[in-house]
């Protein structure tokens, strides 16, 4: 039983770490501030949740579990505030998002694809 919990908990922590790495990869690959915020939110929603869940299974059940729950609650309350502040500051300082379809790989990422579809932006 304890062995199973160890493996499940360990697996969840590794999964959370992988998701965080994916989030970091997204931050590197996406073209502008706003899309990068989307990638970064993988880290603090999915990544943090999976890791805390895994820690809860690994640790002794009791006070530690409650503390991890509190940590999770505070991450869920504060991370949208931070993301929102970031997006709002970028928008407020005149940083316009790239709109429209484009490949995220490639040399000149958005420069050729963005202008033609920029007009499709919704009101």
Partner 1 sequence: MAYAFGLLMALAVFWLVLSGETSPFFLGLAAVAVLATLWLCARLRLIDREGSPYHRAPQLLVYLAWLIVQIVKANVAVVSRVFGPRHAIDPAMTEVSTTAQSRLGRALFANSITLTPGTVTVDVEGHKLKVHALVRESASAESFAPMDRRAARAADRKPRGRRNGER
The binding site for partner 1 (CB under 8 A) comprises: 19, 22-23, 25-26, 29-30, 32, 34-35, 37-39, 41-42, 45-46, 49, 63, 66-67, 70, 76-77, 79-81, 83-84, 87-88, 91, 97-105, 121-123
Tell me how far, at minimum, the Cβ of 1 lies from partner 1, in Å.
Answer: 25
Q: Left, alpha or beta for 97 (phi > 0: left; psi -120 to 50: alpha)?
A: beta
SS3 (DSSP) at 16: helix
In three state form, how does the secondary structure of 30-85 look?
Answer: CCCHHHHHHHHHHHHHHHHHHHHHHHHHHCCCCHHHHHHHHHHHHHHHHHHHHHHH
For partner 1, the closer CB: 59 or 79 = 79
For partner 1, the closer CB: 10 or 29 = 29
For partner 1, the closer CB: 9 or 16 = 16
Whole-number Å distance between alpha carbons of 64 and 68:
6
For partner 1, the closer CB: 101 or 111 = 101
Tell me how far, at minimum, the Cβ of 60 lies from partner 1, in Å.
Answer: 12
């Amino acid at each position: 039983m304890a062995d199973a919990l160890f493996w499940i908990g360990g697996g969840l922590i590794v999964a959370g770490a992988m998701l965080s790495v994916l989030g970091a990869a997204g931050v590197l690959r996406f073209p502008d501030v706003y899309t990068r915020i989307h990638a970064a939110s993988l880290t603090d929603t999915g990544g943090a949740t999976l890791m805390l869940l895994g820690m809860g299974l690994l640790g002794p059940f009791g006070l530690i579990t409650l503390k991890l729950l509190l940590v999770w609650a505070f991450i869920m309350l504060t991370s949208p505030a931070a993301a929102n502040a970031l997006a709002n500051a970028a928008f407020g300082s005149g940083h316009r998002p790239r709109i429209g379809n484009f490949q995220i790989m490639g040399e000149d990422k958005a420069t050729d694809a963005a202008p033609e579809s920029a007009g499709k932006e919704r009101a």
